[in-house]
Chain A
Amino acid sequence: MLFTLIFRNAFRHRLRTLLTITGLTVAILAFGLLSTVISAWYAGAEGASGARLITRNAISLIFPLPLNYREKIRQIDGVRSVSLANWFGGVYKEPKNFFPQFAVEPESYLGIYTEYRLTDEERREFLHDRKGCIVGAKLARTYGFKVGDTITLQGRIFPGNWDFVIRGIYTGRDAKTDVSQMLFHWDYLNETLKQRSPGRANAVGVYIAEIAEQGRAAEISRAIDAQFRNSNAETLTETDRAFQLGFVSRTESIVVAIRIVSYLVIFIILAVMANTMAMTVRERSAEYATLKALGFGPAFLVLLIYGESLAIAAIGGGIGIAATFPAAAAFAKTLGKFFPVFEVSNTTVALQVLWALAVGLVSAFFPARRAARVKIVDGLRSIG
């Protein structure tokens, strides 16, 4: 009977309840999507390792480093291996087709970035073909790339048309791995530059050093930078993770804004729902007073009111959470190229549950307290 009362009370004003549920659904869904966007933002950094150091030009990422630094970095104590990479920044067919492309030294690069998985055959084919490239599984899916395809990129930083043959499609070790990149031979870039614009050859964007012990990352970073102090290309070395986070922190204000909006949405629905519950309970003052007269204690009324509020919150929240997954999938389809990883995390779902619950509990708090405290005779009088 208690559940009958709670449920029927909840749906007494059908339209009002449906609107409240819709509001909650939208709020919880919006919160889930926005949280997922934020996680996606940080995903690159989360996938990054603390056991890798990125050395770049101290002035700016856009200034290159000399080729001979590689050997010098390798000789520093604690460095296990060194690779190098250049940001290519080419356009595939149309400018809107954006995806990250890196010219790398393949053997050492794949040796360090073990989270990029290739079959032995793909790996061999890639290493042997100077014009070969590999693409991430997600990138391949987006553009329909297949092994053996030739793709042409228009260089923006390095002018001209550049042809590549896809030799492999790499997958990620786990969900955090960025599988939306394209990697190709640094040699191909460099040899071509030697012909087209010799002044730009033998320049390296960043060096990647794998270190033996993560705990020594700070010390080794300092050692690398010290090595090149007072040269004409001073360096700045940080862990891969810090490097990625540096990128994120440059966009921090956007992330903060999104986070604020996501909580604002929850706050608004909380206000709406609290108002609805207050109104509903006030309308039923005489009923609650009658129950009290019949001998039901304040606890029973509290149960009725919290039950009703939580039932509405559970339905709205439940639909919102369930809708987050297909919505995120649709989101990933359109915005996927900006976010290498776009997945609804368990934390996000837990927060959604938590906020739906909080909305239900907080909305019931004042009405329940009022109903529990009001004197029977005053409650009965309100019948009109």
Chain B
Amino acid sequence: MSELPASPLVSLRDIVKTYHRGQQTVPVLGGITFDIDAGEFLALMGPSGSGKSTLLNLIAGIDRPDSGQLVIGGVDIGVLDEAELADWRAQNVGFIFQFYNLMPVLSALENVELPLLLKDMTRRERRERALLALEMVGLADRAEHAPSELSGGQQQRVAIARALITDPTLIVADEPTGDLDRESANDILHLMQRLNDEIGKTIVMVTHDSRAAGHAHAIMHLEKGELSGREEVRV
């Protein structure tokens, strides 16, 4: 078999991000360069305020760098306008948040279905797919429950189903277990590992917790807006 030249799925070059607080400028990311391969499960670690979330938001296309180039899946997302970027996110990114960010007025099933509203699909197709995704996270029996009727771990599983439903190229997770007890956290991490192993999803996860990071393939360390090292995780 002839192999294609392996180009990374995500490529960051000299990414700089500064926040302005009044007159003050707060440098957050000072020229970050690295690649993420397709199929990777990468953990981003670092002290609070080191810029982990900022970096993740840039990769997810919900924030823009001041300078530098960000190419994901062959697309330079820096040149997209807001509407194009929104479309790009809908196609390519699945989000998992620390506080789940489900719509409280929608049922578990409807929450999972939500991203499919942006696709050209019948109501029935949407339902079927959402149910399938809920099944994958083991919550098919909770389809009609409101988020408030679910535990934190269950809500996060619904959120994972929502992140999966559009079959995105990339899943980003900002402290997905930050609000969960150890047991629920383990469930979530195993689930994410399965997504990575079984369906080959590329995952970038920010975490404080080294045990959580241990589920990833590799850990990137961020310190005051600079990369301070990368370690491979041995299973």
Cβ contact within 8 Å between B113 and A1: yes
Nearest chain B CB to A356 CB, angstrom units: 24
A380: Cβ under 8 A from any B Cβ: yes
- Answer whether A377 and B63 are a contact pair too, CB < 8 Å, given A292-B86, A296-B118: yes
The interface residues of chain B lying within 8 Å CB-to-CB of A295 are 86-87, 89-91, 115, 118
B80: Cβ under 8 A from any A Cβ: no
The answer, among A12, A286, A375, for a CB contact under 8 Å with B63, is A375
The interface residues of chain A lying within 8 Å CB-to-CB of B75 are none
Cβ contact within 8 Å between B62 and A293: yes
Interface membership of chain A positions 1-27, coded 1 if the CB is closer than 8 angstroms to chain B and 0 otherwise: 110110011001000000000000000
A257: Cβ under 8 A from any B Cβ: no
Nearest chain B CB to A333 CB, angstrom units: 45
Cβ contact within 8 Å between A376 and B63: yes
Provide the bound-state CA to CA distance between A293 and B113, in Å. Answer: 15
Nearest chain B CB to A286 CB, angstrom units: 6
B110: Cβ under 8 A from any A Cβ: yes
Provide the bound-state CA to CA distance between A383 and B118, in Å. Answer: 25
Q: How many residues of A contact B (CB 8 A)?
A: 22
The interface residues of chain A lying within 8 Å CB-to-CB of B162 are 294
Interface membership of chain B positions 78-115, coded 1 if the CB is closer than 8 angstroms to chain A and 0 otherwise: 00000100110111000101010101111000100111
Provide the bound-state CA to CA distance between A1 and B106, in Å. Answer: 9
Closest A-chain residue to B117, C-beta based?
A: A1
The answer, among A4, A9, A293, A375, for a CB contact under 8 Å with B60, is A293
Chain A contact residues: over half helix, strand or loop, or mixed? helix
Nearest chain B CB to A185 CB, angstrom units: 74
B50: Cβ under 8 A from any A Cβ: no
The interface residues of chain B lying within 8 Å CB-to-CB of A296 are 86, 90, 117-118
B57: Cβ under 8 A from any A Cβ: yes
Cβ contact within 8 Å between A383 and B86: no
Size range of the chain B interface in the assembly? 20 to 34
A290: Cβ under 8 A from any B Cβ: yes
The interface residues of chain A lying within 8 Å CB-to-CB of B60 are 293
Nearest chain A CB to B130 CB, angstrom units: 11
Interface membership of chain A positions 160-194, coded 1 if the CB is closer than 8 angstroms to chain B and 0 otherwise: 00000000000000000000000000000000000
Closest A-chain residue to B101, C-beta based?
A: A290
Interface membership of chain A positions 347-384, coded 1 if the CB is closer than 8 angstroms to chain B and 0 otherwise: 00000000000000000000000000001110010010
A297: Cβ under 8 A from any B Cβ: yes
The interface residues of chain B lying within 8 Å CB-to-CB of A292 are 62, 86
A287: Cβ under 8 A from any B Cβ: yes
Provide the bound-state CA to CA distance between A48 and B104, in Å. Answer: 61
The interface residues of chain A lying within 8 Å CB-to-CB of B95 are 290, 293-294
Provide the bound-state CA to CA distance between A293 and B56, in Å. Answer: 13
The interface residues of chain B lying within 8 Å CB-to-CB of A376 are 57, 62-63
Cβ contact within 8 Å between B105 and A294: no
Nearest chain B CB to A288 CB, angstrom units: 10
Provide the bound-state CA to CA distance between A11 and B201, in Å. Answer: 38
Closest B-chain residue to A297, C-beta based?
A: B86
The answer, among A2, A294, A375, for a CB contact under 8 Å with B90, is A294
Provide the bound-state CA to CA distance between A32 and B99, in Å. Answer: 48
Provide the bound-state CA to CA distance between A212 and B163, in Å. Answer: 83
Closest A-chain residue to B123, C-beta based?
A: A1
Provide the bound-state CA to CA distance between A8 and B111, in Å. Answer: 13
Which residues of A (282-333) have their CB < 8 Å from a CB of B? 286-287, 290-297
The interface residues of chain B lying within 8 Å CB-to-CB of A287 are 101, 103-104
Cβ contact within 8 Å between B105 and A5: yes
Provide the bound-state CA to CA distance between A287 and B105, in Å. Answer: 11
Provide the bound-state CA to CA distance between A324 and B184, in Å. Answer: 57
Nearest chain B CB to A71 CB, angstrom units: 82
The interface residues of chain A lying within 8 Å CB-to-CB of B62 are 292-293, 376-377, 380
The answer, among B86, B89, B101, for a CB contact under 8 Å with A286, is B101
Nearest chain A CB to B115 CB, angstrom units: 5
Provide the bound-state CA to CA distance between A376 and B85, in Å. Answer: 12
The answer, among A4, A8, A377, A383, for a CB contact under 8 Å with B101, is A383
The interface residues of chain B lying within 8 Å CB-to-CB of A383 are 99, 101
Nearest chain A CB to B68 CB, angstrom units: 17
- Answer whether A380 and B90 are a contact pair too, CB < 8 Å, given A1-B114, A12-B105: no
Provide the bound-state CA to CA distance between A377 and B57, in Å. Answer: 8
Provide the bound-state CA to CA distance between A350 and B184, in Å. Answer: 58
Provide the bound-state CA to CA distance between A12 and B104, in Å. Answer: 9
Nearest chain A CB to B107 CB, angstrom units: 10
Closest B-chain residue to A6, C-beta based?
A: B105
The interface residues of chain B lying within 8 Å CB-to-CB of A375 are 63
Cβ contact within 8 Å between B86 and A5: no
The interface residues of chain A lying within 8 Å CB-to-CB of B110 are 1, 4
5 contacts across the A-B interface (CB closer than 8 A): A1-B113, A2-B117, A12-B105, A295-B118, A377-B57
On B, residues with C-beta under 8 Å from A are 57, 60, 62-63, 83, 86-87, 89-91, 95, 97, 99, 101, 103-106, 110, 113-115, 117-118, 162
Q: Which 7 A-B pairs have the closest CB atoms?
A: A295-B90, A8-B105, A376-B62, A290-B101, A295-B89, A377-B63, A295-B86
